[in-house]
Amino acid sequence: MDSALIPRGVRRCSLRVFFLWTLPWLALLAWGLVSAFLCLWKGLNQTNMSNIFAFALWIVFDLAVIALGAGAFFTGFLTYIIKREELKDIINAAVIVGFICYSGAVAMLGIDIGQPLRGWFIFWHANVHSMLTEVSFCITCYLGVLAIEYVPLVLGNRKLDEIPDFRFFGHNLHRTMAVFAAVGTFLSFFHQGSLGGMFGVMYARPFAARWEFYVWPTTFFLFILSAIASGPCFTILVTKLAETISWKRLVPESAIRTLAKIAGWLLASYMVLKIADTLAWVYGIVPRAGLTFMDFYREGPYGVWLLVLEVLLFGIVPAVLLVVPRLRENKVLLILACAMNCAGIVLNRFVFIVVTLAIPVMPFDRFWSYLPTWQEWGISMALIGYGFLLFSLSYRYLPVFPKEEELNPQGARVTARENRWVGVLMGLMGRGPVLKGEQR
């Protein structure tokens, strides 16, 4: 039955090897479920949230994966609206990554509100003056869009495709993807921006406060630009990881290079605006608040090194690596640049969520630090386990990569010597050791 579900023309590892691969991710998921149960049963006293820190560790993960999941809507925009045909070879992976990120984010928010069964209050009793209301609406609606974009891929399963009604529905739904790509772009634009705008309007906290451009603070636009700069890089990382573990080529290099080039120029643009915004904040908002730049870093564990790390090492360096063609075409440097770009965005979200609240706003206050509990780590790590599981299942049973068969001809085999040391590694995400004479 398992082999009958695997797409035609491709090889996958045995079911036993695949089951062994899923064990660590199932363990992470179990850890997260236990942690979530304790938080829902006993309350948020299972976390280190307080009157100082209104957000737990999982909110850092939440905002980070929402940014990294932006590769779905932006790649869809480039593929279906801008008509970059070469990106059709990677759009399925981008959709899966986006669906994982957003569904995981919504699940963590359900735990964060404490009583998820009353989550519908957000929509029925909407606080129209809150940016988080708009974020809730857009994230929920965009998760629905991602689910719709994921459906044709599920219906492309070998067995489901044999059912005429499913094949007809999936084919016609796929033809309307341009509409859903446009809707997803619209929804993502506003919720990515509002997440940043929420911090920019915190005038009582000069560390995060920013000027307004029309009705939006500058952080509104910086969050959007940072998301569309990092999202494609995260999609590239996931795809390259799948290629490494499966020991196959899954996507043509033309698609990877196009996505990396676009992400590089977006990251470079973001860094220019980020540096300009930081300088304007240092010489504008900070003096008006009666403070100096170093007042925010004079004590506590969160020093000025965070800013240097975010802007220089995880910002300017990967931007240069992705923009310069000679450097971008180096596979090692490409992976390094994408990883640094994603790390920079995660660090940026951490600074806005945790460091903003750790810095005192009154002369008699002190600098704080935040130490998550094991329950918070469990819920956050569950997202990683869930992501690996869903992507692995999708890769095994769905036609995720259209060019996989073409890029891996039937005659390609792994030598016996290689089989001895890569046997386990090759089975991790979809393919066990392939011996000479093995049939499809």
Write the DSSP string, 260-285: HHHHHHHHHHHHHHHHHHHHHIIIII
**Is residue 97 within 8 Å of residue 391, measured between CB atoms?**
yes
Residues 6+ apart with CB under 8 A from 97: 68, 69, 71, 72, 234, 235, 238, 387, 391
Look at residues 147, 126, 146 and name the one whose alpha carbon lies nearest to residue 137.
126
pLDDT at residue 429, rounded to an integer:
43
Look at residues 292, 152, 141, 272 and name the one whose alpha carbon lies nearest to residue 218.
272
Average pLDDT over residues 349-361: 92
Average pLDDT over residues 95-105: 93
pLDDT per residue as tens digits for the range 357-410: 999 888 788 899 999 999 999 999 999 999 999 999 999 999 999 888 888 886
**Is residue 230 within 8 Å of residue 278, measured between CB atoms?**
no
3-state helix, strand, coil in the chain (%, to 5): 70, 0, 25
Residue with tokens 């630009």: 225
pLDDT exceeding 70 applies to what percent of the chain?
93
pLDDT score of 38 more than 90: yes
CA dihedral 283, 228, 388, 9 (to 10 degrees): -160
State the CATH class of domain 54-406. Answer: mainly alpha
**Is residue 22 within 8 Å of residue 386, measured between CB atoms?**
no
Q: How many CB atoms lie within 10 A of CB 309?
A: 16
End-to-end CA distance of the chain: 15
3 state DSSP class of 13: coil
pLDDT at residue 412, rounded to an integer:
47
Query: How many Å separate Cα 229 from the centre of its chain?
Result: 12
Q: Extract the tokens encoding 154.
A: 């599920």
Average pLDDT over residues 130-159: 87
Q: What is the CA radius of gyration of the chain?
A: 23
Mean pLDDT, the chain, integer: 86
**Stretch among 118-132, 259-273, 294-308 having the lowest mean pLDDT:** 118-132
- Using the Cα atoms of residue 201, residue 63, residue 370 and residue 275 in order, give the sign of their dihedral: negative
**How far is the C-alpha of 372 from the C-alpha of 306, rounded, in Å?**
19
Please report how many Cα atoms fall inside a 13 Å half-sphere around the Cα of residue 240, on the Cβ side: 21
Residues 6+ apart with CB under 8 A from 407: 248, 249, 250, 251, 252
**Is residue 402 within 8 Å of residue 89, measured between CB atoms?**
yes
pLDDT score of 319 more than 60: yes
**If residue 212 lies in a helix (H) or strand (E), which one and from where to where?**
strand 212-213
Interaxial angle between packed helices 416-427 and 15-42, expressed in degrees from 0 to 180 and rounded to the nearest 10? 20
**How far is the C-alpha of 285 from the C-alpha of 306, rounded, in Å?**
20
Look up residue 85 and give its DSSP letter: G
Across-strand partners of 212? 217
Characterize 15-50 residue by residue with b for buried, 16 or more Cβ atoms within 10 angstroms of its Cβ, and e for exposed.
Answer: eebbeebbeebeebbebbeebbebbbeeebebbbbe
Q: How confident is the model at residue 118 (pLDDT cuts 50, 70, 90)?
A: confident
pLDDT score of 93 more than 90: yes
**Is residue 241 within 8 Å of residue 223, measured between CB atoms?**
no
Distances (CA, A) of 166 to 2, 116, 169, 198, 342: 20, 33, 5, 43, 37
pLDDT per residue as tens digits for the range 162-215: 888 878 787 777 777 888 888 888 888 888 888 888 888 888 899 999 988 888
pLDDT score of 434 more than 50: no
Q: Extract the tokens encoding 149.
A: 């974009």
Q: How confident is the model at residue 421 (pLDDT cuts 50, 70, 90)?
A: very low
Q: Extract the tokens encoding 279.
A: 């300088």
**How far is the C-alpha of 188 from the C-alpha of 210, rounded, in Å?**
22
Query: How many Å separate Cα 424 from the centre of its chain?
Result: 27
**How far is the C-alpha of 39 from the C-alpha of 114, rounded, in Å?**
7
pLDDT at residue 410, rounded to an integer:
64
Q: How confident is the model at residue 419 (pLDDT cuts 50, 70, 90)?
A: very low
The domain limits of the chain are: 54-406
